[in-house]
């Protein structure tokens, strides 16, 4: 069975120090796809950065119209 975490916040600052380890251990546990949710401009940028490093992580961003 493949698990897909549809709502994660790996872009939160509390994960900065051990992000790689958390993602690896979660993947090894069986969660093979993630969606990293952006909730403001900065977290949206971080979500895109994280998703660009992993084939199995996707990003959602919050759009801010001017």
Angle (CA) 7 66 62, round 5°: 5
pLDDT recorded at residue 42:
94
pLDDT recorded at residue 60:
97
CA nearest to 62, candidates 48, 41, 46: 41
Residue-range domain boundaries for the chain: 3-60
Distance CA 46, CA 14 (A): 13
- Strand, helix or coil for residue 37: strand
Per-residue pLDDT of the chain (66 residues; tens, 9 = 90+): 889 999 999 999 999 999 999 999 999 999 999 999 999 999 999 999 999 999 999 999 998 777
Give the chain's count of helices (H) and strands (E): 2, 3
**Please, are residues 56 and 32 in contact by the beta-carbon 8 Å criterion?**
yes
């Amino acid at each position: 069975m493949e698990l897909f975490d549809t709502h994660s916040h790996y872009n939160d600052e509390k994960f900065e120090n051990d992000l790689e380890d958390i993602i690896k251990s979660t993947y090894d546990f069986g969660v093979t796809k993630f969606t990293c949710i952006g909730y403001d401009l900065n977290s949206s940028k971080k979500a895109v950065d994280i998703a660009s490093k992993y084939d199995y992580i996707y990003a959602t961003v919050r759009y801010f119209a001017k």
